[in-house]
Amino acid sequence: MSLNGDVCLVTGACGFLGKRLVRLLLEEEKMSEVRLMDKHIPLQFIRSLEDCRGKTKLSVFEGDIRDSDHCRRACQGVSIVFHIASIIDVVERVEYDEMYGVNVKGTQLLLEACIQENVKSFIYTSTIEVMGPNPKGDPIINGTEDMAYVSSLKFTYSKTKKEAEDRTLKAHGELLPNGSRMATCALRPMYIFGEGCRFLLGHMGDGIRNKDVLYRMSLPEAYVNPVYVGNVAVAHLQAARSLKDPQQRKVVGGKFYFISDDTPHISYSDFNHAVMAPLGFHIQEKIMVPLSFFYIFCFFMEMVCLMLLPFTRVVPPINRQLLTMLNTPFSFSYQRAKKELGYTPRYSWEEARKRTTEWLASELPKEREKIRSK
């Protein structure tokens, strides 16, 4: 099912995934209009899309997703919403009210605007972290959408994303003023990598400061399956096509889907090394201290920060839940997305790694200079 002639809105359009999806929509679909919604949209980004825009109208909606009037203006005349915008934070630097306001209230306001403005399809970008891992570190290997897992979410990020996902799926089938019904679905990508990934840049910077040796924070056997950003964008496009098709929306609507690809199962630390080894980086053989001691250290850091809270807010660089996430086998299958959405990874692991490494190589001189000048 083609999206030709549709008007779509992409929230978080200037983010890591948002940029990739916007370009994909312009390259593959003859849409009537693509609306970009973000707090700030640089003119340079708009100009970079001229080579693939064709006759599609590009509209800019700068503003805060927590502004209900802004959401409603952006949704007027829209048929499809890709809701990507959120605050991502796994070390609890962002205040709870800020994260809840953007991730949950912002999603709710956008859903309400969609209902008021007769938006037919709503695709929510969730995350694998709405599943966990739980504080016990119970593993999942090739998990599916049907499996049961006691999550006990601890991160504010994962809790707010889960609540926003629940609200999105609950809104499926809502009656619209024009008599039709809205269809929703949620996509749960694994850890997303690729060109523009700020987390990879951060790990590379740490490696530079450590004389080109990457820190090992994950046990080698703590297998996860990261997913390339280009494949996640393709999954979003397939979800929109499925929700537009009258028969497929009956199957897809109201569901969530795990989005992974054929990236080898590997630990987070070894993944960093896989994409940076061609640039001359090495990796520590073992975690610096025994994992049990690391947990105790994190616990004491958290207690100290808690005692200081009445006077000042201090955020430790790592906490027990992050350590659990980095050291728990946690991988998921994309087979249901393949069967029901028609999603197939477009980029192989070899091509995704090559593209990512080339991008990191282009950023390496800037990162070295930045660190030298400090």
Compute the average pLDDT of residues 312-322. Answer: 88
Number of domains in the chain: 1
Window from 71-85, 192-206, 294-308, 333-347 with minimum mean pLDDT: 294-308
**320 to each of 102, 126, 300, 302, 325, how far by Cα in Å?**
25, 23, 10, 9, 9
325: left (phi over 0), alpha (psi -120 to 50) or beta: alpha
Q: What are phi and psi of 254, to 5 degrees?
A: 80, 10
Q: Is residue 308 part of a domain?
A: no
> Quick one: pLDDT band at residue 363, thresholds 50, 70, 90?
very high
Residue 78: the pLDDT is: 97
- Under the phi-then-psi rule, with left for phi > 0, alpha for psi from -120 to 50, and beta for the rest, what region is 314? beta
Q: Note the pLDDT of residue 308.
A: 86
Per-residue model confidence as pLDDT tens digits over 75-87: 999 999 999 999 9
Q: What is the pLDDT of residue 374?
A: 73
Q: Give yes or no for residue 306 having a pLDDT over 90.
A: no
pLDDT in tens, 221-279: 999 999 999 999 999 999 999 999 999 999 999 999 999 999 999 999 999 999 999 99
State the CATH number of the domain containing residue 168: 3.40.50.720
Domain membership of residue 234 as a residue range: 7-198+226-265+330-350
Query: When comparing pLDDT for 295 and 108, which is higher?
Result: 108
Inter-residue contact 55 to 96 (CB < 8 Å): no
Catalytically active residues are: 157
Is 140 among the domain residues?
A: yes
Q: Looking at the predicted structure, is the pLDDT value of residue 344 above 90?
A: yes
Average pLDDT over residues 12-38: 96
